Structure 1
Amino acid sequence: MLIVLAKATAKDGMVENIVNNAETLIEATRAEDGCIDYNLHNSTEDDNILVFVEKWESEEFLKSHLNQPHFIEFGSAIEDLLAKNLEISVYSSEEIDL
């Protein structure tokens, strides 16, 4: 499984616009093959920071997601709302018995 953290830093006053644009993205992404979980969270330390937390079955499914029209449209819609580029980290994860 892959875990993706995508940090979005909004320009002042633009968080609500990003969240509104993300609603369609989140709904469509959750319906994609290979999507285990896909959520958007607000930072408790900085009102302008949002973090997408994603879980994917494999790299192939994640790569497919990056080419979906709803993902591309979201990127275009929020481009001017961001203070800086998205910061994306990808982690590999395996379940372990404790």
Structure 2
Amino acid sequence: MNLYVVALFKFNENYLMEAVERFQILVRETRKEEGCLQYDLIEDKNNKGTFFMVELWESEEHLNRHNGQDHLLDFRRDVSKMLESSTQIYKGSKIL
């Protein structure tokens, strides 16, 4: 069963350009992963510095493999100092 994930990031405005650079690497590398069906970065149009990563994975197993990838671990390390608050992550399955 496919797994949907939405991750919410809130960045300090001083780091927006750097954050987008880090996101570009993360998105490019993640889209190459087996089991990745969608991996899109969305910027909230009403809240500067707020981004949503919209993900679709073939399975939870694929997501678990993604969570151990170097490009994701590097991203987490690099942006930790740029975030205003902790990243929120929501996982679910399509019901309709």
Q: Deviations over 1:53-95 (max 9, x none)?
A: 000000000000000000000000100000011010011126x
What are structure 1's unaligned runs of at least 5 residues?
A: none
**Structure 1 letter corresponding to 2:72:** F
- Note if 1:68 corresponds to 2:63: no
Q: Which runs of 4+ in 1 moved over 3 A?
A: none
Count of residues in correspondence between the two structures: 95
1:5: which partner in 2?
A: 6
| Identity across the alignment (%) | 28
TM-score (norm 2): 0.94
Alignment partners' CA distance in 1, 2:70 and 2:28: 13
Q: CA deviation at 1:16?
A: 1.7
1:30: which partner in 2?
A: 31
**Structure 2 letter corresponding to 1:76:** R
Give the superposed CA RMSD.
1.1
